[in-house]
Structure 1
């Protein structure tokens, strides 16, 4: 192809793309403008913390840990998760309900109530987009749009008190079970809910929560007694015990676990604090949140800031691929 012909083709391509590129730029600019406007009143990103005894959901600056506002009042607020629809879902442990909260307005509705729920503390959305919550001795699956009960997801031996659970990147489900004296283990299920194995009996005692670390390993928070509390680490592939990461009686009730980008671990400790720990050494490095109005911190999650630049790049990529 000659140089003049190449130039002509390039001009035609730019002309054809110009309208769509301008539209994408407008959307990106509006997104950035809205983000700036919203950030003026609500810093993004920020942490959302559930207060079990305070019956509330509070928000804190992700950098300073300073209190921002109270998002909503939810009785017995325990575990939280953001759904694929952008709403916040909160388990009401004593009321046997799951609430759905608009994170812009704080308005809430009851999404699932009673029936198949059994004191739902742990709740998560699975790889298929549906909501998973505790049944009496199994993990149940619910339609993410309607809240309709779809059936028991897990199979195999009945689980005494399935406290918390997480899906691995390959769809494997890990459930930490056991609250009253008895067998306390992590139970492993495949991506279809079929029982695979269990592990950790010698190292799990009255478990409070389980989380997948950035290293792919499993971390379980224990509360053996009011003064015997720890967080233990298991190999995410084999289930082999690796080490005790944190041993600190001041954790009180290590209910909420969250890994920060710097590798440190935040622990909602069943009081007015969110404590910070160095995962490599296990050392307590200070309080990220210390709020007298926070009665009983039970879980926490990070709400990230939308990236207008990322939206712009994705949009441009779509146009380029379509025009090729």
Structure 2
């Protein structure tokens, strides 16, 4: 029943292996790639990319090594973790460096040109390779030891045709006596987010962001991971502490999220690694204690497409995590789940994984409970004929078919779309969802949430815009028809709502229904609604 959507991988830098964890419980599921397999060393970055062994599945590309000659990109089977090959690496039997001078690879990304980009941390370069063969093409970008330059490149991420890069603010220095390469911070260069808007080699980047040190840090900034959320904003992890959230359009800092899980007062005693968004929109990051280097994994719940400020410790400090940095989720895969011609009762976590699953219940009076599993998301449910009940969770799509169906989003997290189809359907609404009644006399029950988009469709529908308590936000009704559909309020007397206290405003071609200083509902393209047409009941 379990699919890979419910687990994620962590690059265990000091363990030279890749570990797998359950995303819902945080339980450790074992090694996905065993220690030193294929020569794996310091696996800081993990990326699922094109099929490398002909099985038609996405495979895992892992940055490995920290020295000239041994730095490489290794490729592993994305299903089993078995070693496939050295995708990018130096051949010790030749005088040529086939990597183009790769030293301590960190960020990796596939470009829109089909080529493979790697940040070479200890040469202050971004190197470009053939995306199919791994052959070195050229030096895409080179550091210049100046502010705004590629100084200590870390994470790479392509967004809207541009390449975003985090820099540490260091300059690579070579010890002439030993040949050892190190990161030099003596120039005092800033850690920044750079953006390359052209894929021409030698392009000068734009500085996207130059943050100040977090109050919870030790007084420095070292930007690392990059990820884009459902809200469209860019999230950047700071190794020193904190996650920065930026507006991609303006570059403005929206907020900083704390990652200090080790101390009650600043400074923090932990560092932070990469970022990864789960299929349900939650944000995960890895961290480790500065003293012991034992790691933990933090999770930020999502509300309205944006991670909230407060984290939960998904995986408490665990010695199996040895200075972890990289983190990634498996590519989303869908599983088909079929009901029977009879009455089915399908429960998330029992009968289906409920993460990007596609469910056909068929005939009968069926029940599908997705909300029972907090991690459920992105499912498509076809209820078919019969009087069915479904509890949606997060970004689910539910289609009622025929029959008098019940859609319940009370415990949902938003982003779902519910379509009743034929029959007299009932919708119990949560927050941030869309509900379409379809044909029939449908009932929409607003509860404590709000910010839903509602459409009754054909038939005489009832929109119960208040039920015993005021909604947190106004709901929008897209197709209300005066004389056919009904607006109702339950618990009106207790709340003090009546025709005398309710106010109707026509604003911008719409009608807003308000009580006190709160807008309860917005009726699009409705004019001439009389407050006495509203049904009040106790």
Please tell me whether the aligned partners of residues 8 and 329 of structure 2 are also in contact (alpha carbons under 8 angstroms).
yes
Please tell me whether the aligned partners of residues 59 and 79 of structure 2 are also in contact (alpha carbons under 8 angstroms).
no
Residue 233 of structure 1: aligned partner = 245
Q: Distance in 2 between matches of 1:155 and 1:223?
A: 23
Q: Distance in 2 between matches of 1:43 and 1:166?
A: 23
Q: Distance in 2 between matches of 1:304 and 1:87?
A: 10
- After TM superposition, the score normalised by the length of structure 1 is 0.73
The yes-or-no answer on 1:245 pairing with 2:206 is: no
Residue 87 of structure 1: aligned partner = 59
Report 1:163-178 matches (<5 A). 163-168=154-159, 170-178=160-168
Q: Distance in 2 between matches of 1:64 and 1:276?
A: 11
The yes-or-no answer on 1:287 pairing with 2:294 is: no
Give SS of 2:284's match.
strand
The yes-or-no answer on 1:255 pairing with 2:273 is: yes
The yes-or-no answer on 1:99 pairing with 2:71 is: no
Residue 273 of structure 1: aligned partner = 296
Distance 1:83 1:247, change over 3 A: closer
Q: Distance in 1 between matches of 2:314 and 2:6?
A: 19
Q: Distance in 1 between matches of 2:274 and 2:324?
A: 8
Residue 334 of structure 2: aligned partner = 307
Q: CA deviation at 1:60?
A: 1.6
Q: Distance in 1 between matches of 2:272 and 2:253?
A: 19
Bigger CA radius of gyration: 2
Distance 1:293 1:87, change over 3 A: same
Aligned residues, how many?
269
Report 1:144-163 matches (<5 A). 144-154=131-141, 158-163=149-154
Residue 11 of structure 1: aligned partner = none
The yes-or-no answer on 1:46 pairing with 2:64 is: no
Q: Distance in 1 between matches of 2:8 and 2:134?
A: 26
Please tell me whether the aligned partners of residues 143 and 151 of structure 2 are also in contact (alpha carbons under 8 angstroms).
no
Q: Distance in 2 between matches of 1:289 and 1:132?
A: 34
Structure 1 residues 116-173: Cα deviation after superposition (integer angstroms, max 9, x where no partner): 21211111222233221014233222112211011123479651111111110x2111
The yes-or-no answer on 1:119 pairing with 2:104 is: yes
Distance 1:261 1:110, change over 3 A: closer
Q: 1:186 aligns with which of 165, 189, 193?
A: 193
Structure 1 residues 149-206: Cα deviation after superposition (integer angstroms, max 9, x where no partner): 11123479651111111110x2111111124341221111114253351032243612
Q: Mean Cα displacement is larger for which, 74-83 or 155-164? A: 155-164
Unaligned runs of 5+ in 1: 1-35, 313-324
Distance 1:133 1:215, change over 3 A: same
Q: CA deviation at 1:46?
A: 1.8
Please tell me whether the aligned partners of residues 4 and 333 of structure 2 are also in contact (alpha carbons under 8 angstroms).
no
Please tell me whether the aligned partners of residues 122 and 133 of structure 1 are also in contact (alpha carbons under 8 angstroms).
yes
Q: Distance in 1 between matches of 2:226 and 2:88?
A: 23
Give SS of 1:49's match.
strand
Please tell me whether the aligned partners of residues 142 and 150 of structure 2 are also in contact (alpha carbons under 8 angstroms).
no
Distance 1:280 1:311, change over 3 A: closer
- After TM superposition, the score normalised by the length of structure 2 is 0.46
Residue 453 of structure 2: aligned partner = none
Q: Distance in 2 between matches of 1:65 and 1:141?
A: 36
Q: 2:224 aligns with which of 208, 218, 221?
A: 208
Distance 1:196 1:153, change over 3 A: same
Q: Which structure features the higher share of helix residues? A: 1
Distance 1:144 1:275, change over 3 A: same
Unaligned runs of 5+ in 2: 52-57, 91-98, 171-184, 214-220, 263-267, 289-293, 337-356, 360-538
Q: Distance in 2 between matches of 1:210 and 1:305?
A: 19
Q: CA deviation at 1:247?
A: 4.9
